[in-house]
Amino acid sequence: MGRGVGGGSLVNGGMAVTPKESYFREVFPDLDAGKFYSTYFPLVHKELKVNVIDEQFLKDCPYYKFTRVGEEEAHKAGFKTIRVPNVYDFQYMEKEYRNEVPRSALNTEVIYGNNHGKNSLDKTYLKKALETGNLEILDLHRVDHIKLNDDKTYTLNVQQTDTSGAAVADKIFNCQKLILAAGTMGTLKLLLHSHAMSQFPVHEEIGKSWGNNGNFMTGRNWVKPMSGGTGAKQSTIPVGGIDNWDDPEHPFFTEIAPLPMGMDVATALYLLINRVDKKGEVSYDADTRKLVLDWNESHTAGMRKNADYFIRKMNRANGGTRSHFLFNNGFGADVCYHPLGGCVLGKATNEYGKLKEHENLYVLDGSLIPGTIGVNPFVTITAIAEYCIENLIRENEFA
Q: CA 358, CA 202: separation in Å to the nearest integer?
A: 9
Cα–Cα distance list, 53 to 84, 92, 218, 239, 304 (Å): 9, 11, 25, 7, 31
What pLDDT was estimated at residue 240? 97
Contact 388, 364 (CB under 8 A): yes
pLDDT digits (tens, 9 = 90+) for 294-334: 999 999 999 999 999 999 999 999 999 999 888 889 999 99
What pLDDT was estimated at residue 325? 85
Question: What is the helix (H) or strand (E) element at residue 301, kind and residue range?
Answer: helix 297-318
State CA 161 to chain mean position distance. 27
pLDDT digits (tens, 9 = 90+) for 283-298: 999 999 999 999 999 9
Beta bridge partners of 80: 243
Q: CA 113, CA 118: separation in Å to the nearest integer?
A: 9
Q: Residues 247, 252, 257, CA angle at the centre, nearest 5°?
A: 135
Q: In residues, how long is the chain?
A: 399
Q: CA 241, CA 154: separation in Å to the nearest integer?
A: 44
Q: CA 379, CA 41: separation in Å to the nearest integer?
A: 7
Decide: helix, strand or coil at residue 256: strand
Strands 331-332 and 215-221: antiparallel
Catalytic residue among 255, 299, 358, 386: 255
- Contacts for 16 with CB less than 8 Å, ≥ 6 apart: 45, 48, 50, 85, 86, 87, 376, 378, 379
* Domain over 7-135+208-397 is classified CATH 1.10.3720.10: no
What pLDDT was estimated at residue 179? 96
DSSP label at 22?
H
* Residue 53 pLDDT class (50, 70, 90 cuts): very high
- Contacts for 350 with CB less than 8 Å, ≥ 6 apart: 356
Q: CA 242, CA 22: separation in Å to the nearest integer?
A: 18
* Residue 396 pLDDT class (50, 70, 90 cuts): confident
Q: CA 27, CA 388: separation in Å to the nearest integer?
A: 17
DSSP label at 47?
H
What is the C-alpha radius of gyration for the chain, rounded to an integer number of angstroms?
22
pLDDT digits (tens, 9 = 90+) for 160-194: 999 999 999 999 999 999 999 999 999 999 999 99
Contact 17, 201 (CB under 8 A): no
User: The pTM is what?
Assistant: 0.96
Question: pLDDT at residue 1 above 70?
Answer: no
What pLDDT was estimated at residue 111? 87
pLDDT digits (tens, 9 = 90+) for 58-89: 999 999 999 999 999 999 999 999 999 999 99
Decide: helix, strand or coil at residue 131: helix
Q: Is-catalytic flag, 338?
A: yes
Question: pLDDT at residue 105 above 90?
Answer: yes
Decide: helix, strand or coil at residue 269: strand
Q: CA 94, CA 127: separation in Å to the nearest integer?
A: 25
What pLDDT was estimated at residue 268? 95
Q: Can you point out the beta strands (E) in 60-166? A: 80-83, 141-148, 154-161
Cα–Cα distance list, 311 to 189, 249, 254, 269 (Å): 37, 15, 11, 11
Contact 118, 14 (CB under 8 A): yes
Looking at this protein, which amino acid is placed at residue 122?
Answer: D
Catalytic residue among 145, 299, 338, 358: 338
- Contacts for 356 with CB less than 8 Å, ≥ 6 apart: 203, 205, 348, 349, 350
Mean pLDDT, all residues of the chain: 95
Q: CA 105, CA 114: separation in Å to the nearest integer?
A: 7
* Residue 3 pLDDT class (50, 70, 90 cuts): confident
Q: CA 323, CA 218: separation in Å to the nearest integer?
A: 7
- Contacts for 169 with CB less than 8 Å, ≥ 6 apart: 159, 160
* Residue 398 pLDDT class (50, 70, 90 cuts): low
